Amino acid sequence: MKFVKVLPAFLMFVAALPLLAATHTVTLDVPGMTCPVCPITVRKALRAVPGVTHVDVQYAKKEAIVTYDDTKTSISALTKAAADAGYPSKPGGTAK
């Protein structure tokens, strides 16, 4: 039976996927966003970080949800970029 031969290889492939995936998402609490223009600055600063693939800033929640490649950048680089733009932040929120 072909299926029996293929199955173990398939299961190994599925098991390896999380190891291959270098993309992570972090939610940063950005308490300093006090007006609707702030998210634009925060988004711009975070998007400028090499390795960042997506930024979603939620002004109402004072959060920045950042998707990044962890082989190219890190959470500390993200918080530094936000702080350099005038918005100190820290990992928090609900997304992991």
State which residue, 38 or 52, has the beta carbon closest to Cu ion. 38
Reading across the β-sheet that carries 52-58, which strands appear in turn?
52-58, 63-69, 23-29, 90-91
CB 89 within 8 A of CB 49: no
Q: Is residue 37 within the footprint of Cu ion (CB under 5 A)? A: yes
| Using rule CB under 5 A, residue 60 touches Cu ion | no
Do 67 and 53 form a contact (C-beta atoms < 8 A)? yes
DSSP code for 49: S
Least gap, CB of 33 to Cu ion (angstroms): 6
List 26, 28, 30, 38, residue binding Cu ion (CB under 5 A):
38
4 binds Cu ion (CB under 5 A): no
Binder to Cu ion among 9, 12, 20, 35 (CB under 5 A)? 35
Q: Are 53 and 72 in contact (CB under 8 A)?
A: no
Residue 41 or 74 with smaller CB distance to Cu ion = 41
Q: How far apart are CA 40 and CA 17, in angstroms?
A: 34
Of 29 and 69, CB closest to Cu ion: 29
Which residue ranges make up the site for Cu ion (CB under 5 A)? 35, 37-38
